[in-house]
Amino acid sequence: MELLLQQVMAGLANGAIYACMALAVVMIYQAIDHLNFAQGEMAMFSTFIAWQLIAWGLPYWVAFALAVVVSFIAGVLIDRVLFRPVQNAPVLSQVVAFIALFSILNSSAGQIWDYTIKTFPTPFGHKPLFGGTLIDTHEAGMIGVTLVMLGLLYTFFRGTRLGLAMRAAAANPESARLVGIRVGWMTALGWGMAAAIGAVAGMLIAPVVFLEPNMMLGVLLYGFAGAVLGGLTSPAGAVAGGFAVGIIENLAGTFIPYFGRELKLTFALIMIVVVLMFRPSGIFGRRVVSRV
Amino acid sequence: MTTVPKEDIAVSAAAVPVTRALRVKPSARHLIIAGTIVIALLVPLFAKSFVIFQLTEVMIYGLAILGLNLLTGFNGQFSLGHSAFYGIGAYAAAILTHNYDVPYLWTFPAAGGVCFVVGFLFGLPALRLQNLYLALATFALATAMPQILKFHALENWTGGVQGLVVDQPDPPSFLPVDSDQWLYYLTLIVVLVMFAAAANLIRSRTGRAIMAIRDNSIAAAAMGINTSLYKTLTFGVSALFTGVAGALGAFAVAYVSPDSFTIFFSISLLVGLVIGGVGSIPGCLVGGLFVLYLPNIANSLSTGLAGAIYGVILLIVIFVMPAGAAGFARFALARLQSLSRS
C-alpha cells in the first residue's frame, strides 16, 4: 500500500509535466485544428530565452514575463509568416511544415546555446512538502500553476467575447467569417497563446529535466498521449490525461512483473490504445458528429 | 483525412483505357517508364560502388514509402508506425538467414508475409480510430518496437541491444557482377515487381474500392463496399510492402539493430511521402531520393546547423510544391499542354 501510494505520487509529479504540455497541445489544436509537432521545440526555445535573460542578470519573474511575451509574439509571427502561405495545402504537407519547424528550432538552439545540460532555477525551491519524500515544493508548484492556467483558460474561452470568437473560428471558419470574425487573426492569436502556454510549461519543466535542446522530446510524446487520452476537444481532459499517463507509466513499471521495467513505455502506450478503442474520442472528449 | 485532390480518381480511372490502348500505340507514360528502367539497368556498370549503394538505398526507401502511400495516400489512413513494419521485415530477414540459414531469396516472401499478418492484426483495432487517434496508435507501435526488439527474453532471436549481422547475398556465379552490383539488381527486380503490383492493385476494382473509402467512407459503404475488410486488408498490404523493403534494407546495410527503427524513421518516410506526392506511385521514388540525400546535403552545407538547413529546405519545397513532386509534375504538364494548344 505504501509502495502504491508512493508510486502514484511519483506518477503525479511526472504527470504534472505531461499535463502542462498536453494543455499547450490542446490549446493549439483548438485554434488551428492540427497537432503541432513543433510545440515542444517552441517551448524549449522559450525556456532558453528565459535562461539567457536570467544569465544576463534579470530577476526570475521579469525574465519569466518577458519570455512569455516574446513567445506570444513569436507564435503570432510563425503563423503569419510560415503557416498562412500553406493554409490551403493538403493536411500532410502542413504536418511536414511542422516537422521542418521542429528541425529548425532544435538545431538553432543547439547552435546558439550548445548541447551541454544547464540548470534552470525554480521559484518554488526543492524542499520536501509535508515533511515527506513523496513530492517536493517545485512539483507541487508545477501542479498548482497548471491548474491555475487551466482555470484562466476556461474563463477566457467561456466568459469573454474574444474567447467565443476564437472557438467559433476554429469550429466553423466559414460561418465565423460571415458573422464578422477575423478568422486569420484568431488563428494567429491561438498560435500566440499556445506558444505562451508552451513557454510557461517549458519553464516549469526545465528545473526537473534540465535545460538542453532535446529536453522536450520525451515530454512532448507523453504530452500528446495525455492530450489524446483525455480528449483533444477538452483542455481539462488533457490535463487529466497528462496526469493519468504519468501514473500509468509509473505503476506499469513497478507492478507488472518480468515485463514491466523494460517495456514500461510500451505498456503505457498499449493501455492508451485500449482506452481509445472503447472511447474513440478520448475519455473527456466530445464525439464530433459530422453531417454527410 | 482526404489529402489527395479529387482529380486523382479521374486520373486513375482514365488510366484504364490507356493500358488497353497499349497494344496499338505506347503512350508517353510507358516510354518514360521503359526509359527509366533501361537507365536503371545501365547505371551500375558505370557508377562507383558507393553511388550504387546509395541508389540501392533510394529504391528501398522508395518501396517503403510506397507501402505507406498505399495506406495513407490511397486509403486515407494515417500512420506513424511504418518504421515498425520496416523493422519487422528487416529482423525477419536477419533472423531467418542468421539463425536458420534460410536462402536469402526466401526471406522476402517470409518478411512480407509476417508483416502482412502483423499489419492486418494491427488494422483491426485501428478500425475504431480515426485521424489523430490512429496517428497516436501507430505512433505507439513505432515507439514500442525498439523496446520490444531489445527485450531480454527475445535476445536469442533478435540479438538484443547488439542487433544481428547479416551476410550480404553473393552474386550467382554465372553473372559477372560484384556483390554491390548484385544487391542493386536484386533490389531493382524486387522493387519493379512490387511497383507494378501496386499500380495494378490501384487500377483494379479493389483499388477503386480502397480509394472510394478514402474519399467518402459512408458513401463507399452505401455502395456495398465492406469498409472494415478493405481497411484492414490495406493495412496488411501496406505493411507487406514496407516489410519487404525492410528485408532488402537489412541485406543492403548488412546489419540490423533496434535503434535503426525508431519513430524518426517513420517521420522521414512521411516526409518522403509528402515530398514525392501523396497518392502518386512514381512519386515514391522521388521521396526515396529526398529521404537519402536531403540530410546529406544539409550536413555538407553546415554541420552545426544541419537540422535548420534541412528544415528550411523542407519548408521551401512545401511552399513551392504543396502537393509534392507528383502534384508539381501534373501542374507543369497541364501548363505545357495549354501552352502548346494556344
Residue by residue, DSSP assigns A149-175 as HHHHHHHHHHH-HHHHHHHHHHH-HHH
Q: Which residue of B has its CA nearest to A229?
A: B133
First vs last C-alpha separation in chain A? 52
Residue B240's pLDDT is what?
95
pLDDT in tens, A267-282: 777 777 777 777 777 7
When computed from its CA atoms, the radius of gyration of chain A, rounded to whole angstroms, is: 19
Which of A100, A225, A277 comes nearest B311 by C-beta?
A100
Residue numbers in A near B129 (CB within 8 A): 276-277, 280
pLDDT value at position A131? 54
Tens of pLDDT, residue by residue over B198-213, are 999 999 999 999 999 9
Burial, B148: exposed, middle or buried (Cβ in 10 Å; 0-12, 13-18, 19+)? Answer: middle
Select from B139, B140, B308 the Cβ nearest to the Cβ of A108: B308
- Per-residue pLDDT tens over the stretch A101-142: 888 888 888 888 888 888 888 877 777 766 566 677 888 888
Amino acid letter for position B214: R
Mean pLDDT (chain A, rounded): 82
Grid coordinates given for B156? 536469442
pLDDT at B12: 43
- Residue A131 CA to residue B202 CA, distance in Å, equals 66
User: In this predicted structure, what is the pLDDT of residue A5?
Assistant: 79
Per the CB < 8 Å rule, is B307 touching A263? no
Q: How far is CA A199 from CA A24, A41, B252, in A?
A: 9, 10, 44
Q: Which fold has domain A2-278?
A: ABC transporter involved in vitamin B12 uptake, BtuC (1.10.3470)
CATH 1.10.10 fits B7-341, yes or no: no
Give me the torsion for CA of B289, B291, B292, B294, rounded to 10°. 90
In the chain, the amino acid numbered B54 is Q
- Separation in Å, CA of B220 to nearest CA in chain A: 12
What pTM was estimated for this model as a whole? 0.82
In this structure, of A157-161, A192-196, A262-266, the range with the lowest mean pLDDT score is: A262-266
Q: SS3 of B256, please?
A: strand
Query: Can you tell me whether residue A211 is helix, strand or coil?
Result: strand
Which grid coordinates are listed for A36?
503541432
CB contact under 8 Å between A95 and B305, yes or no, is no
What is the widest separation between alpha-carbon atoms in chain B? Answer: 70
Identify the three-state secondary structure at position A287: coil
Query: Which ipTM score applies to this complex?
Result: 0.78
Q: What is the pLDDT of residues B223-265, one digit of tens each?
A: 999 988 999 999 999 999 999 999 999 999 888 888 888 888 8
What tens digit of pLDDT does each residue of A184-226 get? Answer: 888 888 888 888 988 988 888 888 878 888 888 778 778 888 8
- In this predicted structure, what is the pLDDT of residue B5? 47
Residue B47 CA to its chain's centroid (Å):
24
Cβ partners under 8 Å of residue B253, min gap 6: B166, B260
Angle (nearest 5°) at CA A183 between A179 and A189: 130
- Of the candidates B135, B137, B323, the beta carbon closest to that of A90 is on B323
Task: For residue B179, report the phi and psi dihedrals to the nearest 5 degrees.
Answer: -70, -30
Indicate the domain borders of chain B.
7-341
